[in-house]
Amino acid sequence: MSEGALLDRLAQAGPLHALLTPLDEVRSGVAAQATRPPAQGVLAGVPLVVKDNICTLEYTTSCGSRILEGYRSPFDATAIVRLKAAGAVIAGKSNCDEFAMGSSTEHSAYGRTNHPLDPARVPGGSSGGSAALVAARAVPAALGSETGGSVRQPAAFCGVVGIKPTYGRVSRYGLVAFGSSLDQIGVFGDTVTQAGRVLSVISGRDPFDSTCADRDPVVPPERPRDLKDVVIGIPGEYFPADLDRGVRRACERAMERLRALGATLRDVSLPHTKYAIPTYYIIAPAEASSNLARYDGVRYGPRFGDPVDVRALYRNTRGQGFGPEVRRRVLVGTYVLSSGYYEAYYGRAQRMRGLIAQDFDRVFGDGIDLLFTPATPTPAFRAGENMADPVAMYLADIFTVTANLAGLPAMTIPIGRVQGLPIGGQLIAPAFEEARMLGTALALEAVVTGTEEA
């Protein structure tokens, strides 16, 4: 895509409020990258936008927060280094919930992002800006990050492909930390092939991240997998009686088509699924309260007012720099880690996480190759709908958060629309089986159209 065409497309997508980088900075940022040797490699000339919590040299990295407004990283994240080396062009930073905490992109300090098909609705979150820009065809691919579903949930809401790799598959060097036992960089693409290609570029071992697995990059399959000998598990817990009827219809149609391709569909049970959200909302805030200690007005963050002592300095910066959802999570995280509550909350949640991971081990050890589920319980909801009740917002991630807790790869692909709104189907695979997941997704993509009504 030429630079002019890219800027035109980003300008057309302007009303979505999905891109945080002003267009003149995109122009100079793209120009700065053009001084490198001529683009070669599998992503030559492909423009990508990057979630605002991944460090980039050309653009500020604010994490959707006032506390990092204007922050410039002195290095590129490993994923960015690899994208550039593969010829990709980094075309700006996308809006997200502050520090990736949210499911609607309404918790960004820089204003909410609109759903690309209905401005009264949210694009999902936290990587909502990336999802909306890929859905609006402003860019063919984007980076996001996942802690509890922040790539798959907005991808499903916007009708694009979203991949959360296995924990440790992609280096997190340069990803601003939120929940370190959960965080993973993820990919958005307009097709399974596009997303798989980006994943292949950014994955693989990295000496700068000791939690990155010592493994080669993902090799994405070139053609759809033959599903004749594939057993796909359908977990009953992901199809509750109160599941949105449109979501159910779209999933049932996708399942029929998987069956028509020769796959064997088998009912399975993941009995601890319903405890995934409460488990997650202990572990993630606990880790966040620790990771976000660095935003104190000394190490990171501006000083507010004229503090009398160092604790007043910390408290002013954190009290004024963090938005309401981040404040809530820092407080909840501090509470569950505090003396007297640690074992009852955090310790218990770590064990609960063990039970959730064992559920997956059991089904994958019992002849199931992959799982198929809805990606979200509803299509995109209306802006403001879940802002008053934090727990209602948390439940938007009920089908995605399990893969984060168990460290498994998972992805969503568009499987149709209901009353004009996209629905995502989710595939969950055993750890490090991204290629198996992508091959199955290619097969499904060939027989379902993301735009057909279910």
Partner 1 sequence: MSVSKDEVLKIAQLAELHVDDAALPVLAQQMSRILDYVAQIATVAGSESAPPFIPGPVSAPFRADEVRPAPLAFGPKDLAPAFRDGFFLVPRLGQFAAGADAAVDDE
Q: How many C-beta neighbours within 10 Å does residue 38 have?
A: 8
Q: How many C-beta neighbours within 10 Å does residue 12 have?
A: 12
Residues 165, 203 contacting (CB under 8 angstroms): yes
150 is catalytic: yes
Contacting range for partner 1; rule: CB under 8 A; set: 4-12, 44-52, 353-361, 411-419: 353-361
Could you say which of 33, 191, 264, 320 contacts partner 1 (CB under 8 A)?
320
Whole-angstrom distance, CA of residue 401 vs CA of residue 238: 12
* Rounded least distance, CB 355 to partner 1, Å: 5
Tell me if 16 contacts partner 1 by CB under 8 A: no
- Looking only at the bridges linking them, the beta strands covering 184-189 and 161-164 are antiparallel
Contacting range for partner 1; rule: CB under 8 A; set: 8-16, 154-162, 273-281, 443-451: 273-281
**Residues 68-97 contacting partner 1, CB under 8 A:** 72, 74-75
* Rounded least distance, CB 352 to partner 1, Å: 5
Whole-angstrom distance, CA of residue 115 vs CA of residue 122: 5
Tell me if 232 contacts partner 1 by CB under 8 A: no
Residues 185, 142 contacting (CB under 8 angstroms): no
Contact map string, positions 110 to 129, toward partner 1, x by CB under 8 A: --------------------
Q: How many C-beta neighbours within 10 Å does residue 260 have?
A: 10
Could you say which of 262, 310, 366, 451 contacts partner 1 (CB under 8 A)?
310
**Residues 387-446 contacting partner 1, CB under 8 A:** 389-391, 394, 405-407, 431
Pick 179 or 414: Cβ nearer partner 1: 179
Total length of the chain:
454
Selection from 103, 102, 88 nearest residue 141 by Cα:
88
Selection from 195, 93, 202 nearest residue 140 by Cα:
195
**Residues 131-190 contacting partner 1, CB under 8 A:** 167-168, 181
Pick 257 or 303: Cβ nearer partner 1: 303
Whole-angstrom distance, CA of residue 100 vs CA of residue 208: 22
Contact map string, positions 34 to 73, toward partner 1, x by CB under 8 A: -----------------------x--------------x-
Q: Look at the alpha carbons of 329, 331, 337, 342 in this order and tell me if their dihedral is positive or negative.
A: negative
Could you say which of 1, 357, 387, 447 contacts partner 1 (CB under 8 A)?
357
Selection from 440, 441, 438 nearest residue 200 by Cα:
438
Q: DSSP 3-state assignment of 370?
A: strand
Positions marked active-site = 51, 126, 150
Interaction site with partner 1 (CB under 8 A)? 57, 72, 74-75, 167-168, 181, 207, 210-211, 213-214, 272, 275, 278-279, 281-282, 289, 293, 296, 298, 303, 306-316, 318-320, 322, 327-328, 330-336, 338, 344-345, 347-358, 389-391, 394, 405-407, 431
